């Protein structure tokens, strides 16, 4: 039998707000969109089908707050705003790549397990 779990194993972790936003629906996709370089809001909307302007705005603001990207407003007419990954935001690319590689290697097995579970669960 394994040792009991340490009741303090999560001490120091924030109880509600995780320090990394990568687990939400849009952050990883936004990071991928910004990987090649700066993009405008409307450019981000194209591959992010299904995201509303409100949710994209909220996601970009939260990512800016967390230091994952910068927002640069240019004094032009019409106004132009660009979003770009910071070094901190770019540091997420390596773990994201590892997650994608894991998915490529194990997706078929995972889907098979789900199918089996659904077939045997009432």
Question: Can you state the angle between helices 53-65 and 27-34, rounded to 10 degrees?
Answer: 80
Query: pLDDT tens-digit profile of 92-115?
Result: 999 989 988 888 899 899 899 999
pTM score over 0.85: no
Helices (H), 35-86: 41-45, 53-65
Percent of the chain at pLDDT above 70?
88
Fold classification of 21-91 (topology level): Arc Repressor Mutant, subunit A (1.10.10)
Sign of the alpha-carbon torsion through 73, 51, 87, 65: positive
Query: pLDDT tens-digit profile of 11-38?
Result: 776 555 555 566 678 998 999 999 999 9
Token representation of residue 114 = 């789900």
Write down the residue that tokens 């397990």 correspond to: 113
């Amino acid at each position: 039998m394994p040792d009991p779990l340490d009741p303090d194993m999560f001490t120091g972790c924030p109880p509600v707000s995780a320090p990394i936003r990568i687990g939400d629906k849009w952050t990883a996709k936004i990071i991928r969109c910004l990987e090649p370089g700066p993009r405008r809001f409307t450019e981000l909307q194209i591959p992010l089908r299904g995201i509303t302007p409100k949710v994209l705005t909220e996601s970009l603001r939260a990512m800016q707050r967390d230091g994952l990207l910068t927002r640069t407003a240019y004094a032009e007419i019409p106004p132009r705003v660009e979003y770009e990954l910071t070094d901190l935001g770019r540091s997420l690319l390596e773990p994201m790549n590892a997650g994608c590689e894991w998915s490529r290697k194990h997706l078929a097995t995972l889907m098979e397990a789900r199918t089996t579970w659904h077939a045997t669960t009432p």
